[in-house]
Structure 1
Amino acid sequence: MPISSATTSTALLTDHYELTMLQAALGSGTAQRRSVFELFPRRLPEGRRYGVVAGVGRALDAIEAFRFDEQVLAVLADVVDRPTLDWLASYRFSGDVWGYPEGEVYLPYSPLLVVEASFAEAVLLETLLLSIYNHDSAIASAASRMTAAAGDRPCIEMGSRRTHEEAAVAAARAAYVAGFASSSNLAARQRYGVPTTGTSAHSFTLLHDTEADAFRAQVSSLGRGTSLLVDTYDIREAVRQGVEIAGPELGAVRLDSGDLGVLAHEVRAQLDELGATSTRVIVTSDLDEFAIASLAAAPVDGYGVGTQLVTGSGHPTCGFVYKLVAREGDDGELVSVAKRSKDKVSVGGRKWALRRRTPAGVAEAEIVGIGAPPTDDGDDRALLVPLVRDGEVVGRESLETARERHLLARAELPVAAQSMSRGEPVIPTLHV
């Protein structure tokens, strides 16, 4: 039977085998073994120097909403047996979660999330956590490269029409964490407080008998500080008409086609000639971090980014995995376990992680170890923070905090992190 759209449970955002593993573990008596799962990347997407953690806040919300109510259990009636259904009916995550906070930079084998609970409680979260982290971190990683290339010029997220409607909301949130100034997505504004912006499309111009009529209508409604889209017909004539109608107080003109670098120079010169020296030039049209970098010398005041952002600029997932790295032994102590199959090796044991820095504060290595972390010598920054304690969320924070953290973490990286060329991770990951 279909589940009602009114439900708020996240319990079915998972894979069938999570439930069949649970049933088998309940049957064998191993379901309650204390276990440690770790979410981590084995590598960065090809050519990337670093990644960005995003989706932490969404994951915490999802853990809180992971409940098996009557509607959810009805869907699972022919998936698992009655004892398993009865166990699920009272499911509440009661374990502990540590993780890299939102906006932090990550490298290969960074232990981004450490989940400690019974096997039964922790294994059910695998697919949900991976889907959130893989998507949001891919968007944030691309967004970070774009905002780094843009420098002080603002980037606007406008990719909603290029992806799934719910992915669009998550993408807007992740982009904001990584430095985007605003989004076109109103659901992101409602749910997360992401600032939104937007004025008009080509259809608005085409609706009117003349381009001048369209500009008058827009200025009359939205004010002289609005942004006029000037490439529907003839750009030079549109700029002239826009300044004539709005005056030198015209907020911005937007270019959405053509050779943006050449056009930006021409439009800037024309605006200045017309006395609209404070009118900004905004460019859009399938921009990515490379296109943004190529426009660094052009008189551009802001970038609107859509398709390339919401698809991770060629890397729509991060390749994160969620693996059991330790479980309770017969003596009650944790025993390290690890997958050893070819090309998919994991490192067993409950981890700690530090960012090692030079005396000047520049990151030089990701240090990952097992057991008690070393005493802080002043140059190492701890990366794991408590997110959930005894089932209660303790690590929720504002997006503004995550944005600030990202800027600091990115600034801490060596200058090679700013390179758009392909290369190895900007700092090594050392296992100790």
Structure 2
Amino acid sequence: MSNPFGTVPPEAILEGKATDAYFERTRATLEYADKNPHVVAEVTADQFPTGEFEVFTGVKDVATLLEGRRLDVDALPDGQLFDGGPVLRIEGRYLEFAEFETSLLGFCSQPSGFATAALEARLAAPDSLVLSFGARHVHPVIATTVERAALLAGLDGFSHVAAGEILGREAGGTMPHALMFCFGEGNQAEAWEAFDEAVSDDVPRIALVDTFWDEKSESLLAAETLGDDLDGVRIDTTSSRRGDFEHIIREVRWELDARGYEDVDIFCSGGLEPDTIRPLREIADGFGVGSYITGADSVDFSLDIVEISEGSDGPSSSRTQSGDEGEPVSKRGKLGGVKEVYRTPDGGHQITLADREGPTDGESLFEPLIRDGEIVREFDLDEATDRCLEDAETVGFGQ
């Protein structure tokens, strides 16, 4: 059975069919008129800095999308934070990339939103274990996108098995409420013992302790049942009856400690977000964050031509190689002209025209991505994570 879930196949994306219809009509019109100008286009969210930084990612997919086309592309590094101005720049004949705009923006917009929200969750509890539990809230075909964005932002792991196989990471997680229901009320100890005997030794023994009884009662029962084998308890109390969640966690911690179970960790999940995590980070040991990440707004990127000319086609057509600069153009409300973006030591994000001097102490953030259709950058997720967390500290993200 071909494509049983009706999703857009990779071939359609690479062929430019995953596009808005008006790009097909644009191609037909330009070819009819024998027009295909040399342009520079930029991908931008806000034109000027707003003081609100966001994480840029998706650049690896953009490189795959545009590979083999007669284009030069520059972009911010994967995981870089930005505040206004362009994050990606394309140069070449317009019809080399016209139909790819829709997919290109999708590759950047949603993952950048996921990563920005994940970074907020990460920094809400910087010394705690934080996992991504949100794959159930998105279509399965983008689960890997969610989990990669979470890892890029510094989260410690995720729950989706297939995404783990693609990313080369082991998925995490222990038991759902369904397991407890299958054993029934009053048989919680039997459920935890069966889990302990059934799963491999490398899986943490985290008992779910809020299914039938009070969280404190089930936590103590789990500790008595598994003894030294118990690594922790997970409290997933729904918001409809949560009450003072911080008080519940403090009470569970107190009762475990009072009975000598100081080494049993407390893991929290269920509708958590940064504001609910911060009060708990001193008493809980870990958090599972789901809908806060998957429900994040996409970054509202757009792609706009900012310079246009009738420069020669081919590998030597780059404005930086030929010295043949075009005319700045822009739609109303946008900024014409090719731009550069800089990071200053104090965390500033500055935007200038490319032919003007940048800040004397600034570092240009654009790096080559594609040269004449060839990808010239390597992608390493661990390096992107380090970059994201270091840049977040530099710019004061979340402070």
Give the shorter-chain TM-score range.
0.7 to 0.9
TM-score, normalised with respect to structure 2: 0.87
Q: How does 1:139-288 map to 2 (within 5 A)?
A: 139-209=114-184, 210-222=187-199, 223=201, 225-234=204-213, 235-257=215-237, 258=242, 259-288=244-273
Q: CA 1:265–1:44 in structure 2 vs 1: closer, same or farther (change >3 Å)?
A: farther
- 8 Å CA contact 1:325–1:349 kept in 2: the answer is yes
TM-score, normalised with respect to structure 1: 0.81
Q: Of 54, 61, 77, which residue of structure 2 is paired with 1:58? A: 61
Instruction: Find the residue that maps to 2:234 and give its secondary structure.
Output: strand
* Cα distance between partner residues in 2 of 1:121 and 1:96: 11
1:12 is the counterpart of 2:17: yes
* Cα distance between partner residues in 2 of 1:229 and 1:395: 44
* Cα distance between partner residues in 1 of 2:48 and 2:266: 35
Q: How does 1:28-67 map to 2 (within 5 A)?
A: 28-31=33-36, 33-42=37-46, 49-64=52-67
Aligned to 2:330: 338
Gaps spanning 5+ residues in structure 1: where?
Answer: 65-91, 420-432
Aligned to 1:301: 285
- 8 Å CA contact 1:159–1:309 kept in 2: the answer is yes
* Cα distance between partner residues in 2 of 1:125 and 1:382: 27
Q: Of 291, 299, 303, which residue of structure 2 is paired with 1:318? A: 299
1:103 is the counterpart of 2:76: no
How many aligned residue pairs are there?
Answer: 372
Aligned to 1:385: 367
* Cα distance between partner residues in 2 of 1:215 and 1:48: 49
Q: How far off is 1:284 after superposition?
A: 0.5
* Cα distance between partner residues in 1 of 2:104 and 2:264: 44
- 8 Å CA contact 1:355–1:367 kept in 2: the answer is no
Q: How far off is 1:251 after superposition?
A: 1.1
Q: How far off is 1:12 after superposition?
A: 2.3
Instruction: Find the residue that maps to 1:247 and give its secondary structure.
Output: helix
- 8 Å CA contact 1:248–1:275 kept in 2: the answer is no
- 8 Å CA contact 1:250–1:276 kept in 2: the answer is no
Q: Deviations over 1:229-261 (max 9, x none)?
A: 100012222212211222134111100012431
* Cα distance between partner residues in 2 of 1:102 and 1:333: 28
RMSD: 2.4
Q: Deviations over 1:118-160 (max 9, x none)?
A: 1101222211111111100111111111111111112111111
Q: How far off is 1:63 after superposition?
A: 3.1
* Cα distance between partner residues in 2 of 1:296 and 1:240: 21
- 8 Å CA contact 1:181–1:195 kept in 2: the answer is no
Q: CA 1:237–1:390 in structure 2 vs 1: closer, same or farther (change >3 Å)?
A: same
* Cα distance between partner residues in 2 of 1:211 and 1:252: 15
1:23 is the counterpart of 2:28: yes
- 8 Å CA contact 1:329–1:335 kept in 2: the answer is no
Q: CA 1:289–1:279 in structure 2 vs 1: closer, same or farther (change >3 Å)?
A: same
Q: How far off is 1:44 after superposition?
A: 9.5
- 8 Å CA contact 1:172–1:194 kept in 2: the answer is no
What code does the residue aligned with 2:110 have?
A: H
Aligned to 1:67: none
Q: CA 1:119–1:57 in structure 2 vs 1: closer, same or farther (change >3 Å)?
A: same
- 8 Å CA contact 2:144–2:167 kept in 1: the answer is no
Q: Deviations over 1:76-135 (max 9, x none)?
A: xxxxxxxxxxxxxxxx41211101111100112x21010111110122221111111110
* Cα distance between partner residues in 1 of 2:177 and 2:260: 26
* Cα distance between partner residues in 2 of 1:364 and 1:7: 41
Q: How far off is 1:59 after superposition?
A: 2.2
* Cα distance between partner residues in 1 of 2:48 and 2:260: 48
* Cα distance between partner residues in 1 of 2:34 and 2:251: 73
1:93 is the counterpart of 2:69: yes
Instruction: Find the residue that maps to 2:348 and give its secondary structure.
Output: strand
Aligned to 1:352: 340
Q: How far off is 1:7 after superposition?
A: 5.4
Q: Deviations over 1:361-403 (max 9, x none)?
A: x2134233232554x84x3111001111111112231110100
What code does the residue aligned with 2:230 have?
A: L
* Cα distance between partner residues in 2 of 1:287 and 1:368: 39
Gaps spanning 5+ residues in structure 2: where?
Answer: 313-323
Q: How far off is 1:53 after superposition?
A: 0.5
